[in-house]
Amino acid sequence: MKKHIIIFEARGGSDKGTYGFRKDSKPIIDSLQSRGWTAEIIFYTDEDRGEIYRYTVNKADAYISRVNPGNLPNEVGYFQMLKELVNNGVEGLPHPDAMIAYGAKNSVERLKGTSLVPEDVYTYYEYETMKEMLPKTLKNGVRVIKQNRGSAGEGIWRVEVLNADKYKGKIPLDAKLKLTEAKDNHTEEKSLLEFLEFCIQYLEGENGMILDMPFLERIVEGEIRVLMLRNKVVNIVHKKPADTKDAFSATLFSGAKYRYDTPEMWPELVELVVKSLPLIQQRLGNYDLPLIWTADFILDTDKKTKKDIYILGEINASCVGFTTFLELSENIADEVLALLDAEAVVNDKWAAFNK
Residuewise pLDDT in 10s, the chain (355 residues): 899 999 999 998 777 887 788 999 999 999 999 999 999 999 999 999 999 999 999 999 999 999 987 788 888 899 999 999 999 999 999 999 998 899 888 999 999 989 999 999 999 999 999 999 999 999 999 999 999 876 677 899 999 999 999 998 889 999 999 999 988 889 999 999 999 999 999 999 878 999 999 999 999 999 999 999 999 999 999 999 888 777 777 777 777 899 999 999 999 999 999 999 999 999 999 988 999 999 999 999 988 899 999 999 999 888 888 888 888 899 999 999 998 987 654 454 444 333 3
What's residue 323's pLDDT?
85
Reported in sequence order, the residue ranges of 44-86 that DSSP labels E, i.e. its strands, are 62-65
What's residue 347's pLDDT?
53
Cα–Cα distance for residue pair 277/102, rounded to 1 Å:
12
Count CA atoms within 13 Å of residue 332 on its CB side: 29
**Count of CB atoms within 10 A of residue 50's CB?**
10
> Cβ(199)–Cβ(145) under 8 Å?
yes
Cα–Cα distance for residue pair 108/71, rounded to 1 Å:
23
> Cβ(261)–Cβ(238) under 8 Å?
yes
The CATH number of domain 4-94+325-353, selected from 3.30.70.330, 3.30.70.100, 1.10.287.130, 3.40.50.2300:
3.40.50.2300
3-class secondary-structure state, position 201: helix
Q: How far is CA 312 from the centre of its chain?
A: 12
Kindly list the strands in the beta sheet with 292-301, ordered across the sheet, starting from the edge strand earlier in the chain.
Answer: 257-261, 232-240, 223-229, 292-301, 308-316
Phi, psi of 260, rounded to the nearest 5 degrees: -105, 120
Residue range 103-109+218-323 forms a domain whose CATH class is alpha beta
What's residue 344's pLDDT?
58
pTM of the predicted model, to two decimals? 0.88
